[in-house]
Amino acid sequence: MFYGIPLTSRLLLGTAQYPSPAILGEAITASGAEVITVSLRREGAGGGAFRELLRDTGRRILPNTAGCHSVREAVTTAHMARELFATNWIKLEVIGHADTLQPDPFALVEAARILCSEGFAVFPYMTEDLILAERLVEAGCRVLMPWGAPIGSGQGLRNPEGLRSLRAHFPGIALVIDAGIGAPSQAAAAMEMGFDAVLLNTAVAKARDPVGMARAFGQAVAAGRLAHEAGLMLRRDMAVASTPVFGMAELA
């Protein structure tokens, strides 16, 4: 549940870089995702045709501020998004490093505080830093979106221990792994750790078969969540026989 809105699917899907609008639409359907993200700055989302395509999918739209490098840019873009898509949901990105696309933590908190005070439901893209997470929650965020790895890298969960600590520290906050996921197995691993959802784009959009990959990610996210809820076995240092020795025949 995000900001009081219940969802069935735990996969959020980006809409950039697909070979064609038709394939994008098919991939969204195949993934089962109920939330799709769109960037005003990178997608040319001001175009009516593209907005109509997104609305026709029937999915909830999560606009984002991708490409913004300052508080002013991000806040202005969020206001534009609210008007264009008639939603107070915003995925907040304030980039601080051009090469790694790592967010600027100071500008991120400042922008989040402004937008939360203005009635936005903010989904901040962040690193797995606990102090940053605390500041964002204090600012009013009820969802946090830590990266698995740098955007578009496909490295998966680069700091699993840090992510586990974040999950343990914020049991009542929805946590979404955002960025760096390159394979369905990585998405399943995030869900097995107890994260609430996964957001990805490039791994599907740039696949040889985006529709098939979207379906694979949808199934992986569902399987990972089911495994988490069922209770994963503990990892052991030694072998433990799965076959009982009692009642076995004694051969002399």
Please state, in angstroms and rounded to a whole number, the distance separating the CA atoms of residues 189 and 12. Answer: 16
Left (φ > 0), alpha (ψ -120 to 50) or beta: where does 58 sit?
left
Q: Which helix (H) or strand (E) holds 125?
A: strand 121-126
Output the known binding site for 1-deoxy-D-xylulose 5-phosphate: 152, 179-180, 201-202
Give the H/E segment covering residue 215: helix 210-230
Q: CB-based contacts of 171: which residues, under 8 Å, 6+ apart?
A: none
Q: What is the helix (H) or strand (E) element at residue 177, kind and residue range?
A: strand 174-178
> Are residues 97 and 125 in contact, defined by beta-carbon separation less than 8 angstroms?
no
pLDDT tens, residue order, the chain (252 aa): 899 999 999 999 999 999 999 999 999 999 999 999 998 865 555 467 778 888 888 899 999 999 999 999 999 999 999 999 999 999 999 999 888 889 999 999 999 999 999 999 999 999 999 999 999 999 999 999 999 999 999 999 999 999 999 999 999 999 999 999 999 999 999 999 999 999 999 999 999 999 999 999 999 999 999 999 999 888 888 888 777 666 666 666
Which parts of 50-93 are beta strand (E)?
60-64, 89-92
Q: Are 132 and 126 in contact (CB under 8 A)?
A: yes
Domains and CATH numbers, the chain: 11-230 (3.20.20.70)
Question: Is 206 tagged catalytic?
Answer: no
Total H helices, total E strands in the chain: 10, 8
Spot the catalytic one: 10, 59, 91, 167.
91
Q: Annotated binding site, which residues?
A: 152, 179-180, 201-202
